[in-house]
Every structure is written in C-alpha cells, then in structure tokens.
Amino acid sequence: MKRLLVYLKAYRKECVIAPLFKLLEAAFELLVPMVVAKIIDVGIVNSDGPYVLKMGFCMIALAIVGLSCSVTAQFFAAKAAVGFSSKLREVLFSHVEDLSFTNMDLAGTSTMITRMTSDVNQVQSGVNMTLRLFLRSPIIVFGAMIMAFIIDVKMALIFVVAIPILAIVVFGIMLITMPLYKKVQSGLDKVLGITRENLTGVRVIRAFHQEETENARFQESNQALTAMQKFVGKISACMNPVTYVIVNAAIMLLIYKGGLKVQAGELSQGQVIAILEYMSQILVELVKLANLIILMTKAMACADRVAGVLEIGKQEDVRTKPETEGQSENQQATRNARDGKAEAREEANFETYVGASAKTRQDADYLVFDHVSLKYSGAGEETLDDISFAVRKGDTIGVIGGTGSGKSSLVNLIPRFYDYTDGTILFDGRKLEEYDEAQLRRRMGVVPQKAVLFKGTIRSNLLWGKPDATDEELWRAIDLAQAREVVEGKDGKLDAKVTQNGQNFSGGQKQRLTIARALVRKPEILILDDSASALDYATDARLRESLKTIQKETTTFIVSQRASSIRHADQIIVLDDGRMAGIGTHDELLENCEVYQEIYYSQYPEERKGAVSVG
C-alpha cells in the first residue's frame, strides 16, 4: 500500500480537510447527549418549556453544523479518492504499455485487466472511506468513553471493559480475512480469464460444439470463487452480530447499574440517558468501523496486487545497461565472459556462419545474428539455438519452417520484443541492446501474425505508422499494400469508420491495412510475420511485386508457411525445431536442404515428380 500512497501527494490538501471536518462533525455529535441530559434534568423535571425549546434549537443547530461538516468532508474525500484512482490507472496503463513481451506473458492479460479495473476500484473505495471514517470512528468511541467518565467514573468502567473486547473481535476478524480476500481476487482473475478466452474464441467453440464443456469449465471456476466469497463473507458477517451482542450486553449492564444509581440519588435520569446515548454512539461507530476494516482489508489486498503490477519489469536485463556500477562480482564476471565470447566470435572467420549468400563482412554488416539463442522465461528448453546469419541492406529475407520452429521468435528479436539470451545481434554496426527501444522501433515496420485494427477510422489507423503523414503518403502505402480497393470500397474512404478490432473488415482486408500502416513509416526494416496468410495467391503475388519497388530503401523479412511467398527472396532461412537447418536462395536450398525440400515439395508435389523423373 505504501508504494501507492505517492499518488496521493497531489491531494494533500483534500487528505487533511476531509478528516478535519469529520473530526468537527464528531465533536458536535458528542455534544448531543449532553444537551439531551440537560433537557431531561432541567427542562422536563422543572417543566420549563422555554428551556426545552431553547435546547431543542441548540440541537437543530448542532445537526445543521454537523451535516455541513459531513458534506464538506465527503466532498474532499471523494475528490482525493477519485483523483488518486485516476492517476493510478494512468500510471498502471503507462507501465503496462512499457512492459516487455516477456513480462506480459508472465503476468497474463486477464490478471492485468482485473488489477486495473476491479482492484483499483476497491482501492479507491478504501481511500474514500478511510479519509471519512478512519479518524472519526475512533474519536467517537474514545470521546464517548471520556464523556462517560466525566458523568460517572464507575459507570464508565463498563466502557473500559467493552471496548477492548470489541477491538479484539474486530481486528481478529481482519487478520483472518485479509489473506482470504487475496485468494478471492485471484479467483476473480481465473473467472475473468476464462470469460475473456470464451468471448474471443466463441467461433471456435461453436465450430467444435464445445459450448457444454466450456460452460462446465466456467461453472467450476465460478462456483469455486462463489464458495470462497461465501466463506470469507461468513467470517466477515460475524463482526456485526458479535459487536451488537457485546454492546447490547454493556447497555443492559448500564441500564441496570444506572437504575440503581438513580434510585440511590447518585445520578440523574438525564445523565443515565446520556451514558446510554454514548454507548449507542459507540455501537453505531463500531459497526461503521467494522465495515470500514472489512473494506480496508479488501483494499489492502487489492493494493498489494496493484503494486505487484508496478513491480513487474522493474529488474531490467543487465545487457540493457552499459554501466557496471552496482553489479555484483558474479554478474560482472558473467557479463565479461559473454562479451569475451562475442568478441572472439567476431574475430572468427565470418564466412563460416553468414551463409552462402553473403561473401564478405563489409557487404553484410547491416544486420548480423552471431550465434544467437533465445530461451523464454520459465521455458524448459531454448526456443532458438545458435542462429547465425547476416543481411545486406535492401535484401529480402524469407523465413520458413514447420509449426513451432521459432520463425516468429526469430523476427521478434529484431525490434527487441524479446531479448536474446545468448550471442550477439548487430544492427547497423552497433549491438542491438545499445539502441533505445523507441529509437530502434521507429526505424522498423512490424506487421504481426494477428492483424489488429483499432476503433476509429482508416486514416487514424494508418497514422499510427507516421502521425504527420500526408494523404499522398497514405495512398502510396495503401497502393503498395494492395489495399486501394478496400479503402475506396468504403464510404468515406480514408475517413471510413473502423469498429472495435476492425470487425467490419474481412481477414484479408485487415491484413492489407496493417501492412499499409507499417509501410507509411517508410521503415528501414519491414517485418511481415505471416501477415499475408489470409490473402489469395494473386493478391499475395502482387504484394510481393510491389514490395520490390522499395527494396533499395527497405530490408524486408517475410515469415510465411507458403514457399511461393519467399521463393524469390535474396536469402531464405530455414528453421527446424529452433535451429537453423539451412540458409541460401531457393535453388540452393532445393539442392542441399532436406527440410526445405520437404516443405516445398509438400506444397508442389508435381515438381517433386518432375525432379525425380529428371534425376
């Protein structure tokens, strides 16, 4: 919770004013039983109507002033709580946007959504109620006890016994329920995850007629969450009846003792009524305090979860920091060993690993993978192992391989969506990790496997590539991506509406628009990660022909399952289970790479027959 309090700094004034006015309200409320006692002992006993009327107006004045203080306090408390939660959401969203893909994978989307919505709302309610009641309720409790002591010490001793017992009950239940509420929120994460999965995959579920299975899976998680909530709720629900029993037992004892003292002439009737009023005030405030503590328990559990999001990604990879100050000896030794290995590799004969299509280092130093490996966090084995190749500026590089061979993982290393775990990547003569991520990605255009459009217009989506792009630049990118017919076929053309997730476009249309978005930037490196899978062969061929017109200024990586999409590339990288099975041109690979032959001939079996007959 302390980690989050920094976002309340902008509301220091409100955080002082709200409790202050609540304390004033409490002070006026503590005066009411004394006024009631005066009305009984003086006005009623002496049949003094004007005195009763005067004290009645006094009570009305106390009520009006107390109400004004209460409204003022609640206004400033709400302002502080809402402003705090708004700032917290901004910080969380900004932090999540900056997280690496690795950290996003570890955290999980459903957990992030829960923590940014439900958890932040709980923290907001906790801050609001704390500012309003955290000081007011204890002041009323102890103030009522002090006022009781002023009236009669012996009667007040009942308060001294009752209040500690109540405190034990309240705080005991709080300590029991706090860890349970954390489990409840984790259960909510699971239910939200299943819900999100079913909403996004509803077509697949219906296609395979798995509605009953998914419904059963949801019911299981939902019932587990419900059972946990009921269990915690039952414990929390014990607080009110137990406190009522204790307080009512104290009131019964007060009435009994008070009656004896009135009969003996030691106390007046008004004083006994005042003491009972103070005990009633204590009862009401303790119920409020009990509910506040339940709310605070939930809020603290949620605050820990929210703070946990802010801690994700705090420990950066040592390779992203050129400074060695503050590193342990083991870290520094590891770093030196890794750098030494990289230098040794650079001094080695370059032709042994750059492939047949690059003859000299000078020709191929634009982008170099030097014995690069990648192991995802928590994975048992390396996803990529000992990958080495070099790319000249303006080359078109095809990446092909079976499912799960590491094609997307390979190209995701270039814009540093993931950081490699061993080896070296050189880009334009510098190690990749020496670049600022934003600076690096501004030089690249990435079209991911899943085409994503955002709600707005076609223009607003294309401007993601270059915010200040002119209409001429937008249409040039649209033409290159073979998307002119898509745009011109919509009412409004560039200003045509795009619904959430681009649901008003087909898969192929979305792919072409996402390619156009990347091309607007005029990137130095264009990465097409299986981004033409929804295109027909004719459109795919026209797209590849158009990309040749920007070949001198753009280095293109094409990841594809189709051999036809990459057969004319300058180099083709063939991956097999995370390792590089071959690299070269289409003709070279057909001669000497069995993996490529298997992929190619499975798609063009008639050519295999021709090759066999010729042989």
Residues 377-413 pLDDT 10s: 766 678 888 899 999 888 899 999 888 888 888 998 9
Contact between 187 and 221 under an 8 Å Cβ cutoff? The reply is yes
**DSSP code string of 287-349:** HHHHHHHHHHHHHHHHHHHHHHHHHTT-S--GGG----TT--HHHHHHHHHHHHHHHHHHHS-
What mean pLDDT value characterizes the chain? Answer: 81
Is a pLDDT exceeding 80 seen at residue 528?
yes
- Over residues 194-201, mean pLDDT: 81
In CATH terms, the superfamily for domain 351-443+523-615 is P-loop containing nucleotide triphosphate hydrolases (3.40.50.300)
**181: which 2 tokens?**
């509420």
Q: Which range is least confidently modeled, 55-69, 218-232, 352-366?
A: 352-366
What are the extents of the domains in the chain? 8-310, 351-443+523-615, 451-518
Q: Find the DSSP H helices in 348-383.
A: none
Greater model confidence, 120 or 322: 120
Question: What does the pLDDT read at residue 344?
Answer: 45
Pairing mode, if any, of strands 384-391 and 367-374? Answer: antiparallel
CA distances 233 to 190, 230, 551, Å, are: 20, 5, 65
Contact between 517 and 466 under an 8 Å Cβ cutoff? The reply is no
- pTM score, whole prediction: 0.64
Buried b (16+ CB within 10 A) or exposed e, 486-512: bbeebeebbebebeeebeebeebbbbb
Q: What is d(CA 9, CA 16) in angstroms, rounded to the nearest whole number?
A: 11
- Over residues 469-495, mean pLDDT: 88
Position 546 confidence tier, pLDDT thresholds 50, 70, 90? confident
- Over residues 271-299, mean pLDDT: 79
Residue 610, amino acid: G
Nearest to 73 by CA among 37, 4, 23, 2: 23
The predicted-structure confidence for 56-108, as pLDDT tens digits, reads as follows 899 899 889 989 998 999 999 999 999 998 988 888 888 888 777 777 777 67
Greater model confidence, 344 or 605: 605
Question: What does the pLDDT read at residue 180?
Answer: 84
Nearest to 570 by CA among 424, 363, 402, 427: 363
- Over residues 305-322, mean pLDDT: 62
Q: What is d(CA 350, CA 348) in angstroms, rounded to the nearest whole number?
A: 6
Question: What does the pLDDT read at residue 361?
Answer: 40
Is a pLDDT exceeding 80 seen at residue 347?
no
Answer yes or no: same fold for 8-310 and 351-443+523-615.
Answer: no
Q: Find the DSSP H helices in 108-152.
A: 109-114, 120-133, 136-151
- Residue 371's SS3 state is strand
Position 611 confidence tier, pLDDT thresholds 50, 70, 90? low
Q: Which range is least confidently modeled, 176-185, 500-509, 596-605?
A: 176-185
**464: which 2 tokens?**
């993601």
pLDDT above 90 covers a percentage of the chain that reads: 9
Question: What does the pLDDT read at residue 378?
Answer: 67
Greater model confidence, 70 or 200: 70
Q: What is d(CA 432, CA 341) in angstroms, rounded to the nearest whole number?
A: 16
- Over residues 573-596, mean pLDDT: 89
Give the right CATH number for 8-310 from 3.40.50.1000, 3.50.50.60, 1.20.1560.10, 1.10.565.10: 1.20.1560.10
Is a pLDDT exceeding 70 seen at residue 358?
no
**183: which 2 tokens?**
């489990």
Q: Which range is least confidently modeled, 291-300, 458-467, 507-516, 563-572?
A: 291-300
Buried b (16+ CB within 10 A) or exposed e, 435-456: beeeebbeebbbbbeebebeeb
**Cβ atoms within 10 A of the Cβ of 253, count?**
15
Q: What is d(CA 610, CA 615) in angstroms, rounded to the nearest whole number?
A: 9
* Residue listed under structure tokens 């303790």: 286
Is a pLDDT exceeding 70 seen at residue 166?
yes
Report which listed range, 140-154, 183-197, 217-231, is most confident: 217-231
Greater model confidence, 378 or 535: 535
